[in-house]
């Protein structure tokens, strides 16, 4: 039976971490939809027109290990403004969402555009400062030289672009449960998410 969990929110709010744990808990498949935009953004940096890249996207492109860099994140948010690029990526996401056995999708517009009928919706947030600190720590751990102010500026720039675009802007669905992870460790954030999904299952 299909059961879709939509998890949206801004960069480094904890969506991916929560999504993986929730998917594992319920035995559902997980799709990080940011990887679709990152894969297209990556191609754009190589000079390939974004729409061509979106049309030619294959599932294995999401496994590339150079998709996590700050440059690719910015490129992703630039191609994500283009309505035709977004349109190209809809069918794949909707098919994944309605697969038998349940699915967790995380991104920016899952609960509002991709799957407004999702059985459970979460909107995961945290302050920009906390999110920038998390990304900064990740970059340091990966051996990337950067500074906190630069990461914070990057996070703010991407937030503004994601919230300000006309097509599928980042915003909570009216029926989403909000989880602010600013003061939560991963275990506490995951526990809140599992509780919210369990409650939604009970309503279904």
User: Is 16 within any annotated ligand binding site?
Assistant: yes
The residue (of 15 and 42) whose beta carbon lies closer to ligand CDP is 15
**C-alpha to C-alpha distances, 155 to 14, 84, 178, nearest whole angstrom:** 14, 25, 20
User: Which residue of 73, 177, 196, 200 would you call a contact of ligand CDP, by CB under 6 A?
Assistant: 73
**Binding residue per annotation — 23?**
no
Burial class (CB in 10 A: 0-12, 13-18, 19+), 98: middle
What is the distance between the alpha carbons of residues 127 and 81, in angstroms, rounded to a whole number?
Answer: 23
Is 184 one of the binding residues for ligand CDP (CB under 6 A)? yes
- Which of 102, 72, 93 shows the shortest CA–CA distance to 8? 93
Beta strands in the chain (DSSP E): 4-8, 29-32, 103-107, 120-125, 177-180
Is 102 an interacting residue with respect to ligand CDP (CB under 6 A)? no
- Residue 14 near ligand CDP by CB under 6 A: yes
Return the percent helix, strand and coil in the chain, to nearest 5: 55, 10, 30
* Residue 173 annotated as binding site: no
Among the candidate windows 15-23, 44-52, 53-61, 146-154, which touches ligand CDP by CB under 6 A?
15-23
The answer to whether 6 and 111 have CB atoms below 8 angstroms apart is: yes
Stretch that binds ligand CDP, among 21-29, 54-62, 76-84, 143-151 (CB under 6 A): 76-84
- Assess 12 for contact with ligand CDP (CB under 6 A): yes
C-alpha pair distances (Å), 73 with each of 40, 43, 137? 10, 12, 16
Whichever of 67 and 200 has its CB closer to ligand CDP, that residue is 67
**Residue 108 binds to ligand CDP (criterion: CB under 6 A):** yes
Bind-site residues: 9-17
Bind-site residues for ATP: 9-17
Give me the residues that bind ligand CDP (CB under 6 A), please: 9, 11-17, 33-34, 37-38, 73, 76-77, 80, 107-110, 134, 138, 158, 162, 181, 184-186, 189
């Amino acid at each position: 039976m299909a059961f879709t969990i939509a998890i949206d929110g801004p960069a480094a709010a904890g969506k991916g971490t929560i999504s993986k744990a929730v998917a594992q808990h319920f035995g559902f498949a997980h799709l990080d939809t940011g990887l679709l935009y990152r894969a297209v953004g990556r191609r754009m940096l190589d000079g390939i027109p974004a729409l061509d890249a979106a049309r030619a996207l294959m599932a294995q492109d999401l496994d590339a290990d150079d998709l996590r860099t700050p440059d690719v994140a910015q490129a992703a948010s630039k191609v994500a403004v283009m309505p035709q690029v977004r349109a190209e990526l809809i069918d794949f996401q909707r098919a994944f969402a309605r697969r038998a056995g349940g699915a967790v999708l995380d991104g920016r517009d899952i609960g509002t555009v991709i799957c407004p009928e999702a059985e459970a919706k979460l909107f995961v947030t945290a302050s920009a400062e906390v999110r920038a600190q998390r990304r900064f720590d990740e970059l340091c751990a990966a051996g990337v030289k950067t500074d906190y102010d630069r990461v914070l500026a990057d996070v703010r720039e991407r937030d503004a672009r994601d919230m300000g675009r006309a097509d599928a802007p980042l915003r909570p669905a009216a029926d989403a449960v909000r989880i602010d992870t600013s003061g939560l460790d991963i275990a506490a954030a995951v526990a809140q998410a599992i509780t919210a999904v369990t409650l939604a299952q009970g309503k279904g």
